[in-house]
Amino acid sequence: MRVPKMEPIKARIHREVVGKVKSITLEADAAGDYYAAVLWEDGLAEKEPLKEIYEDQVIGIDVGIKDLLTESNGRKEPNPRHLKHARKVLRRRCRQFSRTQKGSRRREKARRRLARAHKRVANARTDNLHKVSSRLVNESQALAAESLRIINMLKNHHLAESIADAAWGELLRMIAYKMKREGKYFIQIDTFYPSSKMCSCCGFKLEKLDLATREWACPHCGAHHDRDGNAAANIRAEGIRILRAEGLPVLRREMSSPNAR
């Protein structure tokens, strides 16, 4: 890699650069590793947004702590809890760092060990989020999710660490740009939409639903709901309504009769 006013730098290029290079940004992280972010023009046009979509290709997702997310089709993505599993190693690295003398070489060595331990957690989290978001994008034409006020949610000291470890904001950011790149749709519904308190079968709305209540039965139609699954189904229905309100055809597939010739 050639950078102005510097000798050629040996680099591991993980992706072929095809096109005109516009800029190269060099940076070093706390662990002492150097990275180069290359911006180039590939000359390819962006994909056109889909002109129509099918209802069975619309998925609603409800994020959580016990499960990272629940889909409207009933599938649940488990929460890996990377920080919790790495806590023992991080504490040991922190103790080793705190015992060193300021300004010494051992302190710098311990600092880098601690930074690498945190980096492994961050890399594992990012890798999992990329896999989950890519799967959702590949399996759908439109995705619907709630608009979350994560900064306000982090003020809850009992859940702040778990919320930060789940990285909902980063997951939704990845979904948004990947859906746009593929010409698909990502809808974020209003924060105060009562997705958890409303029955996805009949539309009955509960006056109150505690966070500890994970399952409930509708007093109007008697339907039994898993809290997260019901919320995902309501989010999907609201997402379809928004898409149709914006003028996008959301079609139903016609089921062929087994007796048809």
Cα–Cα nearest to 68, from 19, 119, 131: 131
Check if the beta carbon of residue 161 is closer than 8 Å to that of residue 207. Answer: no
Token match 């639903």: residue?
A: 209
How high is the pLDDT of residue 258? 53
AA letter at 17: V
- Confidence category of residue 14, pLDDT binned at 50, 70, 90: confident
- Tens of pLDDT, residues 19-42: 898 988 999 999 999 999 999 998
Check if the beta carbon of residue 150 is closer than 8 Å to that of residue 162. Answer: no
AA letter at 62: D
- Tens of pLDDT, residues 172-214: 999 999 999 999 999 999 999 999 999 999 999 998 988 888 8
Cα–Cα nearest to 35, from 48, 46, 26: 26
Spatial distance between the Cα atoms of 132 and 129, rounded to a whole number of angstroms: 5
Check if the beta carbon of residue 54 is closer than 8 Å to that of residue 189. Answer: no
Active site residues: 62, 146, 228
- Confidence category of residue 253, pLDDT binned at 50, 70, 90: confident
